[in-house]
Amino acid sequence: MDSGNAAPMNSIAPPSWPWSPILYGNLSEILKETEIFRRADSLFILLDDNTEKFCFPILAPLLGNLKYTTIVIRPGEGEKQLETCQQIWKELIEGGCTRHSLLINLGGGVIGDMGGFCAAVFKRGFAQIQIPTTLLSQVDASIGNKTGIDFMHFKNIIGAFSPPEAILIDPQFLQTLPSRELVSGLAELIKHALIYDLNLWNKCLGYGKELASAEVLSSMIPQAVRIKCDVVEKDPEEKGLRKILNFGHTAGHGIESVLLEEGNPVLHGEAVAAGMIIEANISRQLGLLDEPNYLTIQTFLFDLFPKIDLSAEQIEKALVYMLQDKKNKGNSISFTLLQSPGKAVFDRMLTEPELIRLALLEYKSL
């Protein structure tokens, strides 16, 4: 895979990429070149309290004389649920939304996933656009057409594949992002490197903590986006290769679900970072990944991300959640594991919870 340099403005993925063009650069420049908002009979903008305050002031002046309705929800993963969808659908009905309307999802992965899902099923589907405003959503969540919500604390268990009309990525939104959120987003970028691109992994190692700086990110975002596009293009519906993107997510979602249920949530990227350490450990236990690479991954991730404290009881609960993961078959838990940095294997079915428990306990003891 060629990592290349930063993509020129507006050219990460052409309209031929599965279903949606991906445009990167300054939003005002992007919008000059597209009539995308003008095709709709009415325009709705989904925001949370933070993106209303920090991101909408960037978008609003670019809408000119277009009429629009904003729908504002509370921020956070705890809102990514059916009750909030009901609020959104109610406001769409009250605002006269038709099958020819357009929803702009201006926010992080929560807004993108939930807005995408709400649009996918409302009147059997109407158009939506993703304008991701967190690092995590710019390099991962907005790309690949997966939409959805959490249910009974199970992450993303209700959802649909639903391509947006376009994905518009402007790094200027990251300027107001709290640093903890920025670092959380690095987890998915590092994951892309670990599963698919040794060159990008070596760059990550080289930058270390500097990875989170604006100059570094402006070249890394297009590279990370291209990796995701490449994988999704080869397997849009996750029948095979796309499963490599789940690295770190089986254990990560288990941990995230337990802490969400207990009312003490961690950020998605923080859970995925923990999940990558745990799943690299499982890869090592199975003889796939060698010890030096495992230790490098573990040290690198611990330098960037906070360790998540887990009790023995929480580990058992995380295992129960992992058994419910939507990727599983029968009684076995499906993992994506690492052979080496840049090379992942998918569909590794583990029927032996002891091995997974051991990796969780080792993480706890680090």
Ligand X SMILES: NC(=O)c1ccc[n+]([C@@H]2O[C@H](COP(=O)([O-])OP(=O)(O)OC[C@H]3O[C@@H](n4cnc5c(N)ncnc54)[C@H](O)[C@@H]3O)[C@@H](O)[C@H]2O)c1
Catalytic residue at 228?
Answer: yes
- Among 27-35, 44-52, 59-67, 327-335, the segment contacting ligand X (CB under 6 A): 44-52
Q: Is residue 186 a contact residue for ligand X (CB under 6 A)?
A: no
Pick out residues in 210-239 that bind ligand X (CB under 6 A). none
Pick out residues in 88-107 that bind ligand X (CB under 6 A). 107
Shortest reach from residue 127's CB to ligand X, in Å: 18
CA 285 – CA 217 distance, rounded (Å): 33
Select from 173, 196, 247, 321 the one that contacts ligand X (CB under 6 A).
173
Catalytic residue among 80, 146, 191, 317: 146
Catalytic residue at 291?
Answer: no
Q: Is residue 141 a contact residue for ligand X (CB under 6 A)?
A: yes
Select from 87, 176, 202, 328 the one that contacts ligand X (CB under 6 A).
176
Token pair 């350490």 in the structure block, residue: 277
Q: Is residue 327 a contact residue for ligand X (CB under 6 A)?
A: no
Shortest reach from residue 285's CB to ligand X, in Å: 26
Kindly report the number of other CB atoms within 10 A of residue 355's CB atom: 14
Catalytic residue at 238?
Answer: yes
Please give the distance of CA 312 from its chain centroid, rounded to a whole number: 28
Catalytic residue at 253?
Answer: yes
Pick out residues in 13-32 that bind ligand X (CB under 6 A). none
Helix locations, 156-248, DSSP H = 179-196, 198-207, 214-234
CA 166 – CA 169 distance, rounded (Å): 10
Catalytic residue at 242?
Answer: yes
Helix locations, the chain, DSSP H = 27-32, 49-54, 56-59, 82-94, 109-121, 135-136, 179-196, 198-207, 214-234, 249-261, 268-285, 291-304, 312-323, 353-365
Contact 307, 327 (CB under 8 A): no
Which of 183, 220, 218, 214 is closest to 202 using CA atoms? 220
Residue of this chain nearest to ligand X (CB atom): 109
Q: What angle do CA 269, 352, 150 make, to 5 degrees?
A: 35
Shortest reach from residue 141's CB to ligand X, in Å: 3
347 φψ region: left (φ > 0), alpha (ψ -120 to 50), beta (else): left
Q: Is residue 136 a contact residue for ligand X (CB under 6 A)?
A: yes
Catalytic residue among 191, 192, 228, 317: 228
Map residues 71-90 to x or -, x wherever contact with ligand X holds by CB under 6 A: ----xxx--x----------
Catalytic residue at 100?
Answer: no
User: What are the residue numbers of the active site?
Assistant: 124, 146, 188, 228, 238, 242, 246, 249, 253, 268
Q: Footprint of ligand X on this chain (CB under 6 A)?
A: 48, 50-51, 54-55, 75-77, 80, 107-111, 113, 133-134, 136-137, 140-141, 144, 146, 155-156, 173, 176-177, 181, 184, 188, 268
